[in-house]
C-alpha cells in the first residue's frame, strides 16, 4: 500500500476514534436501548413537547452510530480491495479503491468536525445580528454585503432564513439587520462568526476612487428551546412600537409595524418587523430570552465569555476577519490564520473553511488535540 494511502487510512481511523469518544462509545448502545424502551411507552405522547425532544435525541444517536459504522465498514472494504488488487496485480481495482478512500477521508473529516459541535446549544437554530460600524455609508454597504453572504451560506446548507428586522442606511446598505436561521447545528456552525469584520476596497461611493476601510459587527446567539425556562420580569422591560423602514428585496418582507423591546438590567435591545404587532411582540420576546440565555452560556464558559469581551467596538483593532479586495484579493481569519484569495466565493457564502478551522482550533474551549485526548 502506498505511503499516501497509508496516511489517509490512519487519518480516517483517527476520525473514527474521535467519533467514538464524542459518542461515549462504551454506553452508546445501552443509551439507544433505553431510548427504544421509552419510545414504546404508550403514555409517551401525553406530553408532545417532551416526546418530540426524546425522538430528536434518539434519532441523533442513531444517526451518529450509523455514520460511525458506515465509515468503519467502507474503510475495511476499500482496504480489502486494495490488498486484493495488489495481490492479483489489478491496477484498476487498486485505483478505484484508492479514489474511494480519498472520498471517504473527506467524509470522515467532515463528520469528525461535526462531532465537535457538542456545546449545550450547538444543535439549536440561531439568531444572527449584523450592525454597521465605523465608516458611515461604506459600512452600511458592507453590512448589507455581509447579510447577503450569510443568507447565501445558510441557503446552501438548506437552512431556513427569516428576516426579523432591518434598518436601512441613509444612502445605501443597512445600518442593522437581524435574522433567524433554522436548521440542525445552525448555532454551532455560526457561533464562530461573532466579532468584527473588516473590509478594504476601492469605494463605489468615492468619486476619487480611493481605497476605504469599513467595519461591521456580527453577533450570533442561539434560539432557546421551548422547554428552557427564562424568566423575564415585566418591570425590567420597555416595549415600543414604531414603523419599520426596510429596503425590501429578495429575502426581505418588510411591514409598517414593528416592536422594540429594551431590557433595562442588561441594556439588550431586540426588534421584530413581521405581519402583526402581536406576532412581533412574540418574536421579540423569544429573541430577548435567547439573548439572556446566551449571557448565561457566556457566564458558564470562560472561553466564550473572553471571546465576546475581546470583540469590542466595530472598529480598528477588534476584527476577527479581514476581507481585502484592493490592492490584492485576500480573506484572512485573524484567529486561525486561514486565508483564501477566492474573495468572490467567500462573499457568495463559501464560509465552511473558516468555520471549520475555528471549530477545530477551539470548540467549547477544547482544541482538536484536547478533544481527541479526552
**Residue 350 in this model has a pLDDT that exceeds 50:** yes
Query: Please, which pLDDT band fits residue 38 given cuts at 50, 70 and 90?
Result: very high
Q: What pLDDT is recorded for position 67?
A: 93
Give the distance, in angstroms, between the CA of residue 313 and the centroid of all CA atoms in the same chain: 22
- Give the predicted TM-score (pTM) of the model: 0.65
Lowest mean pLDDT among 96-105, 124-133, 295-304, 319-328: 295-304
Q: Indicate the DSSP class of residue 362.
A: -
Choose between 276 and 280: higher pLDDT: 280
> What is the average per-residue pLDDT within 27-56?
90
Q: What pLDDT is recorded for position 226?
A: 55
**Residue 36 in this model has a pLDDT that exceeds 50:** yes
Query: Please, which pLDDT band fits residue 299 given cuts at 50, 70 and 90?
Result: low
Q: What own/partner pairs with CB < 8 Å and gap ≥ 24 does 260-265 have?
A: 260/284, 261/237, 261/285, 261/287, 261/288, 262/237, 262/238, 263/232, 263/236, 263/237, 263/288, 263/291, 263/292, 264/236, 264/237, 264/238, 265/236
Q: What pLDDT is recorded for position 373?
A: 46
Amino acid at each position: 500500500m502506498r505511503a499516501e494511502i497509508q496516511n489517509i487510512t490512519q487519518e480516517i481511523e483517527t476520525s473514527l476514534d474521535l467519533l467514538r469518544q464524542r459518542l461515549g462509545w462504551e454506553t452508546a448502545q445501552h443509551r439507544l436501548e433505553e431510548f427504544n424502551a421509552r419510545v414504546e411507552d404508550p403514555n409517551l405522547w401525553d406530553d408532545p413537547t417532551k416526546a418530540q425532544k426524546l425522538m430528536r435525541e434518539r434519532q441523533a444517536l442513531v444517526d451518529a452510530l450509523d455514520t460511525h459504522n458506515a465509515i468503519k465498514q467502507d474503510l475495511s472494504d476499500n482496504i480489502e480491495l486494495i490488498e486484493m488488487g495488489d495481490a492479483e496485480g489489478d491496477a484498476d481495482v487498486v485505483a478505484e479503491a484508492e479514489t474511494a478512500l480519498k472520498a471517504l477521508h473527506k467524509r470522515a473529516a467532515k463528520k469528525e468536525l461535526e462531532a465537535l459541535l457538542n456545546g449545550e446549544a450547538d444543535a439549536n437554530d440561531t439568531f444572527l445580528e449584523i450592525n454597521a460600524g465605523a465608516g458611515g455609508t461604506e459600512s452600511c454597504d458592507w453590512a448589507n454585503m455581509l447579510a447577503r453572504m450569510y443568507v447565501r451560506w445558510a441557503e446552501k446548507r438548506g437552512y431556513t432564513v427569516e428576516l426579523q428586522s432591518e434598518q436601512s442606511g441613509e444612502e445605501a446598505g443597512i445600518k442593522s439587520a437581524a435574522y433567524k436561521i433554522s436548521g440542525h447545528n445552525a448555532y454551532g456552525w455560526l457561533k464562530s462568526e461573532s466579532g468584527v469584520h473588516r473590509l478594504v476596497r476601492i469605494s463605489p461611493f468615492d468619486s476619487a476612487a480611493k481605497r476605504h476601510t469599513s467595519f461591521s459587527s456580527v453577533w450570533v446567539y442561539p434560539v432557546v428551546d421551548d422547554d428552557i425556562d427564562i424568566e423575564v420580569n415585566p418591570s425590567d422591560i420597555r416595549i415600543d412600537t414604531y414603523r419599520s423602514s426596510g429596503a425590501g428585496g429578495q429575502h426581505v418582507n418588510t411591514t409598517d409595524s414593528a416592536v422594540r423591546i429594551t431590557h433595562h438590567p442588561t441594556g439588550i435591545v431586540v426588534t421584530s418587523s413581521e405581519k402583526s404587532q402581536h406576532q412581533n411582540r412574540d418574536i421579540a420576546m423569544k429573541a430577548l430570552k435567547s439573548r439572556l440565555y446566551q449571557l448565561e452560556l457566556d457566564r458558564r464558559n470562560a472561553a466564550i465569555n473572553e471571546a465576546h469581551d475581546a470583540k469590542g467596538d466595530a472598529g480598528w483593532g477588534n476584527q476577527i476577519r479581514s476581507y481585502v479586495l484592493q490592492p490584492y484579493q485576500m480573506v484572512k481569519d485573524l484567529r486561525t490564520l486561514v486565508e483564501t484569495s477566492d474573495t468572490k466565493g467567500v462573499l457568495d457564502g463559501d464560509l465552511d473553511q473558516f468555520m471549520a478551522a475555528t471549530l477545530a482550533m477551539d470548540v467549547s474551549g477544547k482544541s482538536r488535540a484536547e478533544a481527541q485526548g479526552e
